Every structure is written in C-alpha cells, then in structure tokens.
Amino acid sequence: MVVEKVSILIKNGLVVTMDAFRRVLSEGYVAVDEDRIVGVGKGDPGGRYSAEEVIDARRAVVLPGLICVHTHLYGALLRASPWFLKIDQPTDFQQSLQRVWWTLDELMTHEDIYASALYSSMELARTGTTLFYDTLSAPKAIEGSLSCEKKAIEEVGVRGILSFEATERHSLEEGIRGLAENEKFVKENPYTLDKLVMGAISLHASFTVSNELLHKAKELSDKHGVPITMHIEEGLIDVYHNIERYGVRPVERLEKEGFLSSKLVAAHVVHATMEELIALKRSNVKVAHNAMSNMLNAVGVSPVPKMLELGIVVGIGNDGYILDVFENARATYLIHKVANKDPRLMPPDKVVEMATIDAAKVLGLEKHVGSLEVGKRADVVIVRPELTPTPINEGTVYSHIVNTFTGRDVDTVIVNGREILRERKFTATQALKKLDYVHEIATRLWDKLLSEGSYQLDFLS
C-alpha cells in the first residue's frame, strides 16, 4: 500500500458530507493536504495516510465549513448599545433604518470599519462559519473601506466576500462612488477561493436606487463575473415606494429593467407575491434568508417554503444581527412552522443544506465549498458538544444540528487547510488581544451617536 502524506487527518468522527448522496459516515475520516480535501471515507483509514497532524473526532460531528450568504459586519458595534435607550424607539422598519442604522453608518470611519470587521470575523469563525458575504454601508468613508475590512478578516483567517452597499440616499454621485469602490476591490481581489478575501457588488435596496444605478451595478456584475446582492422587499417601504414611483412592485421593476439574473443574491424577499417569486425563479435568482433579523425588525416572515417548492435556491444569512449560524438555522427551522401553522415545514436536513451546500450554490461556489468531497477546499468544522440528551448518529445528526447544537459547541475550525480554531481557542491570530480596542472603538462610536442625532430621510421626498 502506498502511504499518502497529508497535512491533517480527522478520524473517528461522525462525518456529515453534504455530498450529492448526503452521506453520513459513522467513524468516518477526512484527509486534508494543504488547501484541499484528498480523502473522505468510513472506518479506520489504517496506514493509508501519513499525517502531520491527526485529530481524533470521536464523539464529535465533522461538518463542511458553514456559510453565511448575507451579513453586515459593522452591525456588531451596536450590540447591546445603551444609545438605543436615548432615542424614540422605532415603530416600523423605515424608522429603524432612519433612527438606528442610517444614523450609525453615516458616522462610520475606517477605524470603526476595521474594528467591527475584526470582532465579527472572530465571532463568525468561532461559531463555525468559514465563509460569509458581507455588505458594508459607510457613506462618509467609502474609498478604501473594503480594504479595512479585508485587513481584519485576514488577521482572523476566515473567508469573506466583501462589497460596499451603493445607495442614492444623498445623490446619484454617492451611489456611483460606492460602485467604484466595489469595482476597485473586485479587480484587486478576484472572485476565486485562492485567497481568503474576494470582492463582489452590492446595492442597498430598490427604494434607494434609481434605474440608472441598477444598470451600472448589473454591468459591473456581468463584466467581472461576480455576484451582486441587494435587499429586496425586506419592508413594506420597498413595495410602496416602487408602486408609487414606478407603478409596479419591486421584483416586477427589477425584471423589467433586466436586473434579475443568476448572479443576483436577493436578501430577505419578505413581501414578494407568488408572481414575483415565479419571476425570481425564471431568472434563477438566489435568496438570502435572514429569519432572526426579520423577527428583530418585525418586517414579517419570508415565504421560504413557497420558494423551495418553486425550486429557488435559498441560503441562510444573519443580516448582521446574531452571527451564530446554529441559532439562525434554528430560527429558520421554527419560524415557518408557526407562520404557516404547519409543523411539517422545513425539515432539519433541508435547513442544514441551506447553511452548507445550498448556501454555496447561492454564491456560485458549490464546486469548491459547501460539502466534504475530494477535491474541494479544505473548509471543515468539528462540533464537539459536551452534553446531548440523546445519541448522535446517522439518523439523528441533522435534528441535533438544528435542535441541540450551538456555536459554543464548535471545537475546531479549518479554513483553506489551516486550523484557525482548536479546542475552542484561536490558534495563531492575535485578534483576541484586540478586544479591548474593539470595545473602546464601540464606546467612542456610541458617544458620537448620542451627540449627532438621527439621520433625516430626505431622499424619499
């Protein structure tokens, strides 16, 4: 027998492959050499491999790296902020944008951007997410903003798809500057997994974007072959604005303008009609579902079961709220049951797909990540729960992932063949030593929020 030299051999684990056959391998193994998976199988690999490092995954679950298809890293700086106690509490989504989020992002500096990306990358990685699609909003710090995020993400060692949220809240010129930042970053960071950070395109929402900016963004996506994301029908303001100004609903307008495509990642899609969902399917648009954020903002429940029936590919995002992918998966599993009064909806295996292989499909990366298969990138997560009420085996593991596990159970995270978390501790990064710095930045930002007041909605007038 020829002995194959590998970097890492994970053995004795319950391996959830998420491959085409959805194999779950008891006492399974995953062999990694450099940045690729070179072996996946069941049983003792014996003398087949000579590994630089052997990880015994006994009593643990081995998963493909989990994927978040929509986030806002900068949102971490408002977590538990006492500033919220000083404002008139929003009564709807539009007020949440005006009084909270747009007030925040108008004040963001490059240092704030770096600090928020540093913390959020750590939290995402620590809870099992190895790849995320971020969209950044910082109208007063556009140029160079994505490079600030990149620096932080590379320090942590996780993968990130970065984009700037172009908008016309102030002017078309502001939106064009946002797209220019996207294009510059895409050119410097091509859409390939050869490096940790990649560039993509982002627009805010159809109620803050003109047709001209829609066309310019679509041209960039087509030119560079990268995804483009936009918030679509998250709140009713999106619907009302489009009907009032254009005479059609948001998805109808986007289809009419030729904006819909297989590269589009539509975030939220809460208020879409069946006709609009069919239009999304017709253009092979992908959807980022953000269940916990939708609950937080009280915007409603996205019709994900209907999307799945139509064959629309849906992945799980967090919208910058709770970053733990297990919590977001659990919310996805539960919210559609109660909204539709049907406990049969959203079976556990489907929810796990939405955080792994389906999420990879949303991003157009399913040939490279999203499952544990030979030839794919070595993004692997080992979950080692200390307590479980029932056995974890081939028949129960999907239910345990959505009902039992949390991010605190994540023991090991491997990204591109490199361990960035081992025994629940970061291995090489010095990022944790900067937490005091992050807290200092957050406190300083809160002080600015208290003194600056609320952002004024003038672009809708």
Indicate if the pLDDT at residue 246 is higher than 70. Answer: yes
Q: Which fold has domain 86-121+130-316+325-343?
A: TIM Barrel (3.20.20)
H-helix segments, 165-283: 172-188, 211-224, 236-246, 250-256, 274-282
Q: Is the pLDDT of residue 13 over 70?
A: yes
Q: Is the pLDDT of residue 109 over 80?
A: yes
Given pLDDT bands bounded at 50, 70 and 90, which one contains residue 461? very low
**pLDDT score recorded for residue 429:** 63
Please report, for residues 55, 313, 382, 425, the alpha-carbon distance to residue 156 in angstroms, rounded to integers and kept in the order given.
21, 29, 18, 12
Strand partners, 55: 10
Question: In 3-state terms, what secondary structure has residue 255?
Answer: helix
Give 82: exposed, middle or buried? Use CB within 10 Å, 0-12, 13-18, 19+. exposed
Per-residue pLDDT for 459 more than 50?
Answer: no
Q: What is the pLDDT of residue 457?
A: 47
Q: 420 and 429 in contact (C-beta within 8 Å)? A: yes
pLDDT digits (tens, 9 = 90+) for 174-202: 999 999 999 999 999 999 999 999 999 99
The domain spans of the chain are 86-121+130-316+325-343
DSSP of 280-317: HHHTT-EEEE-HHHHHHTT-----HHHHHHHT--EEE-
- Which pLDDT does position 356 carry in this prediction? 98
pLDDT at residue 1 tops 70: no
**Position 382 pLDDT exceeds 60:** yes
432 three-state secondary structure: helix
Asked if the model's pLDDT at residue 460 lies above 60, the reply is no
Q: Which of 188, 176, 182, 142 is nearest to 162 (CA)?
A: 182
